[in-house]
Every structure is written in structure tokens, then in C-alpha cells.
Amino acid sequence: MQYRRGWVALLLFTLALINYVDRVTLSFAAGPITREFGLSSVTLGYLFSSFLWTYTLCLLPMGSLVDRFGSKRVAGFGIGIWSLATATTGFAWSLGSLLATRLVMGAGESSSNPTGARVIREWIPAGERGTLNAIFNSGSYAGPALGALVAGPVIAILGWRALFFVAGSIGGVWLLCWL
């Protein structure tokens, strides 16, 4: 049973980590994206916040979906959607396509907190839930830190588009382990 809790802790930590890595990829690629698409600082600000529009709108419905279909299905669906949207950002050809991928990413990412909370409540004994919540939450702090270490070299060597391909494929690997 301890093995299972350790595996769950690792999956929840990395779920939050990937969620936040994918959120900050645009921040790291902002310079080259701004130059390529000729974006103003105001437009870039809207682009930065755009994933939160759908994230916020989808949180409550996503919680209902977790209640109806279970955390395993919804987490898998969510990370599949947001990872695909993140990777697709690398193919962006306009402000509209960048905005669309961010909106889809936000909708997909809204699955992570409801599913994480449900997994902890259902799969972890009451006396260990605080620790698991802390592990899950710490992924949201580790994600941007890891993103900062990886983003610069990836952009410098392979370009900004590759950063989104790499970030999106990490979610795909997680999804295989989850399923």
C-alpha cells in the first residue's frame, strides 16, 4: 500500500508541475514570439492571461465531470487536451492561433485541481492527506522553476516553437503513466 501512495504522490506532484511548466512556457518565449508576430505589450498581456479565462470558466464544470466520470478519466482527458494545445502552440501562425491554443490549454488545465483533490480524498487515508496535498501543491512551485532551467537552452538551441513541442510531449509521457 505504501508503494501505491508513493506512486500517487509522484503522479500528483508531476501533474501540478507539468500544469505550471505549460503555463509559463509563453512567458519564456515571449521575446521571440513578440518579434515574430509584432505584438504590443498590451496584446502580449492579454495573451498571457487568456488561459485563465477558460481555466476559470471551466473549473466548476470540471469538478462536476470529476464527480460524474471519476478522476482517472477526467485527469487523463484534461492533460491530453492541455498537452496537445501546448504542443500545437508551436505551430501558431498568428495572434488568433496563439490565443486559441491558450484558451484550449486553460480549459484542459482546469481539470488538474479537481482531479487531484478527488484522488487525495478517495485514494489516500485521512491521516496522510495533508502530506499528499502538500506534495501536490509543491508541483505548482517546482513547475516554473524547472521551466526556467529548461526554457532558455531549448529556445537558444532549437527556437521558441520547440519549447512548446517539448512541454506538450512531457504531458503525453505523464498521460501514458497515468493510464
Q: Which residues in the chain show pLDDT less than 50? A: 1
pLDDT for residue 125: 87
Instruction: Quick: pLDDT tens for 144-173.
Output: 999 999 999 999 999 999 999 999 999 999
Query: Do the beta carbons of residue 90 and residue 161 sit within 8 Å?
Result: yes
Nearest CA to 66 out of 121, 114, 129 is that of 114
pLDDT for residue 3: 57
State the Cα–Cα distance between residues 101 and 114, nearest whole angstrom: 22
pLDDT for residue 2: 60
Helix ranges restricted to H, 125-159: 129-158
State the Cα–Cα distance between residues 158 and 87, nearest whole angstrom: 14
Model pTM greater than 0.85? yes
Query: Do the beta carbons of residue 160 and residue 29 sit within 8 Å?
Result: yes
